[in-house]
Amino acid sequence: MLSETSRPVVQATLPVIGERIGEITKKFYAGMFAARPELLDGMFSRANQKNGAQQQALAGSIAAFASHLVEHPDSLPESVLSRIAHKHTSLGIQPDQYQIVFDYLFAAIAEDLGDAATDEVVAAWSEVYWLMADALVKIEKGLYAEQANDRIYSPWKLTSKQSSGLDCMTFRFEPADDTAVTVAKPGQFVSIRVPLADGLRQCRQYSLSDNVESTTERVLTTKLDEGGEVSPFMHRNLEVGDVVELSNPYGDITLDMDGGPIVIATAGIGCTPSASALQSLVSTGSDRQVLVLHAEAVESNWALKDQMLAAVEQLPNVEMRLWLEDTTGTTESLQAAEGFMNLSGIELPEDARMYLCGPLPFMRAVRSQAIAAGVAPTNIHYEVFGPDLWLAA
């Protein structure tokens, strides 16, 4: 709960902080990494620092959290906190690291705001920060306790590496030691940590794309990102027999296996969590009503096409719709519509839970269409690969 002393100060300064938070986070990261370069080894993504995504995500989360405290001082934004906590635990964030962030973040605030960063303003925003940090620490402690082991990473050996769609690759791993394996849920992700040529380790989260309930295999399907560091290493340097580090599975956007109708809407490589969800429905013999919606530029780009189509064939109450920007040469049986995904004319199941995954503009557009069609906003869930830029916007 935000104190009555701090609330009016935060409310009065939120427009200024909100306007400046993007620049503040840039100064924060620059100062922290200059003083603590070891934090770039296996924790923070250099690629997301370079493209600005991490700075935007941090700024968005702070602004969203502070806005919620001002509007609802007696509660916390649980969905925002849960999403951040799952990302943090997949990277092994520890409670003492929140003090490090605080020190450099508030040094950046003081530098950026100058004389406007009065003792009163700093005290109020410090309260905001520690309310957020303490809530995250509590959630993260619970998430760590749910795992089958007490390790952040364990070794996994690559057993298979196969092309899967344009610039996409499916990697299959088996445990490389006797560390107890946590059973995942459909829709969850793991962090992979790999050593790069300069000696630093870098991490990236990838959704599990198959066999999520297995304790003997982890399956990741990744798209090559030339602006990144981890996917180029995996696609070009990782060979069968190599051992990498994988985290326990995390992610709060998971398929409710016992609920009512569901709609899964994806685009591009966003199909990976839906592929695992469909496979899980097959393995449990589900007869749920499922509507699968997917969009691609062209059919040949579709990663996991065969896996998804095979799952749809095996499920008794599943309908699939496909959109292609270019339908030239499309397999006739797919009956793809041309253009971008459009929900007009599609009957969405009553009280359906909807799951979105794909590029941010795609998810925003489809979410708006779904709400217009009568789907309750609280029933629409989204998964973002990398820093959550939905909040930043």
Task: Read off the pLDDT of residues 80-103 as tens digits, 9 standing for 90 and up.
Answer: 899 899 999 999 999 999 999 999
* CA atoms in the 13 A half-sphere facing the CB of 37: 3
Residue 328 has pLDDT above 70, yes or no: yes
What confidence tens digit (pLDDT) does each residue in 184-213 have? Answer: 999 999 999 999 999 899 999 999 999 899
- Pairwise CA distance, residues 17 & 275, whole Å: 41
Section 161-187 average pLDDT: 95
CATH assignment of 3-144?
Answer: 1.10.490.10
Prediction pTM value: 0.92
Whether the per-residue pLDDT at 319 is higher than 80: the answer is: yes
> How much is the pLDDT for 63?
84
**Matching residue, tokens 């919606």:** 293
Contact 132, 81 (CB under 8 A): yes
With bands split at pLDDT 50, 70 and 90, how would you rate the model's confidence at 226? very high
- Assign 334 a pLDDT band (cuts: 50, 70, 90): confident
Residue with tokens 């930043």: 392
Could you tell me the pLDDT band of residue 346, with boundaries at 50, 70 and 90?
Answer: very high
Instruction: Give the lowest-confidence range in 112-116, 169-173, 384-388.
Output: 384-388
The pLDDT confidence band at residue 391, using thresholds 50, 70 and 90, is: low
CATH fourth-level superfamily of 151-248: Translation factors (2.40.30.10)
Please give the CATH number for the structural domain made up of 260-381. 3.40.50.80
Higher pLDDT, 245 or 2: 245
179, 184, 231: which is closest to 203 by C-alpha? 231
Task: State the pLDDT at residue 388.
Answer: 61
% of the chain with per-residue pLDDT over 70 = 98
Model confidence band, residue 387 (pLDDT cutoffs 50, 70, 90)? low
Which helix (H) or strand (E) element contains residue 392?
helix 389-392
pLDDT at 331 over 90: no
Tell how strand 337-338 and strand 318-324 pair up: parallel
The one-character DSSP state at 5 is T
Q: How confident is the model at residue 157 (pLDDT cuts 50, 70, 90)?
A: very high
Helix (H) or strand (E) holding 309: helix 305-314
3-class SS of residue 332? helix
- Which of 330, 289, 341, 343 has the alpha carbon at shortest distance from 312? 289
**Mean pLDDT for the stretch of residues 292-305:** 95
Q: What average pLDDT is seen over the chain?
A: 91
Q: What is the pLDDT of residue 330?
A: 86
- 167 pLDDT tier (thresholds 50, 70, 90): very high
More confident residue, 170 or 211: 170
**Active-site residues: which are they?**
98, 140
Percent of the chain past pLDDT 90, that is, above it, reads 72
Q: Is the pLDDT of residue 217 over 60?
A: yes
Q: Is 223 helix (H, G, I), strand (E, B) or coil?
A: strand
pLDDT band at residue 393 using 50, 70 and 90 as cut-offs:
low
Exposure of 343 in the CB half-sphere (CA atoms within 13 A): 25
pLDDT on residue 52 = 78
> d(Cα 161, Cα 158) in Å, to the nearest integer?
8
Which residue did the predictor score with more confidence, 25 or 230? 230
Domain layout of the chain by residue ranges: 3-144, 151-248, 260-381
CA-to-CA distance for 262 and 25, rounded, in angstroms? 38
